[in-house]
Amino acid sequence: MLQVGPLPDQSGYLLLLKSQDDQRVLPITIGHFEAVSIAMGVGGVAAPRPMPYELLHSVIMRLGGTLRQVVIHDVRDKAFIGQLEIGTKNGVIEVDCRPSDGVALAVRNECPILVTQEVMDQAATTLPPDAEGGTEGVID
């Protein structure tokens, strides 16, 4: 499950990635453009002309690849580190990315977004037992 919405102090946006195994969520602060793009992807809203994430998706497809998954695998200097795993005829290619860019691309490709156990242990927070389960979407 993922959700995206504005931070209470309006200094940016928050992307929440919820664990499928427990009540933990990984909060990632992201920018306005990335938040809008993720929300558009989740909502299936298409721009009149290709936006950067649609463009990247098209390039991957035209080159014969498929986005297999996005993995958030590290935290360095308080920044999350992600990678795209792209399947090609010659095997899987790993491409470094910002997690927000990876998520924006993943929601358009309906591919998994994974977070390593180490990152969850280091940076996730636990939801209270009475918190809503929620679904993918935009936080108002």
With 90 as the cut, is the pLDDT of residue 130 above it? no
Give me the pLDDT at residue 135, please.
41
- Residues 14-22 have a mean pLDDT of 92
- Residues 13-31 have a mean pLDDT of 93
- Please report which confidence band the pLDDT of residue 140 belongs to, taking 50, 70 and 90 as the band edges: very low
pLDDT tens digit sequence for 38-93: 999 999 898 889 889 999 999 999 999 999 999 999 999 989 999 999 999 999 99
Give me the pLDDT at residue 71, please.
98
Give me the pLDDT at residue 138, please.
47
Cα distance between residue 19 and residue 17, in whole Å: 7
Question: Could you give the number of structural domains in the chain?
Answer: 1
- Please report which confidence band the pLDDT of residue 23 belongs to, taking 50, 70 and 90 as the band edges: confident
pTM, entire model: 0.87
- CATH number (domain holding residue 33): 3.10.690.10
Residue 52 lies in domain? 2-138
Strand positions, DSSP E, 13-136: 13-18, 24-30, 66-76, 79-88, 91-97, 113-115, 125-126
- Please report which confidence band the pLDDT of residue 95 belongs to, taking 50, 70 and 90 as the band edges: very high
Contacting residues for 46 by C-beta, under 8 A, at least 6 apart: 40, 54
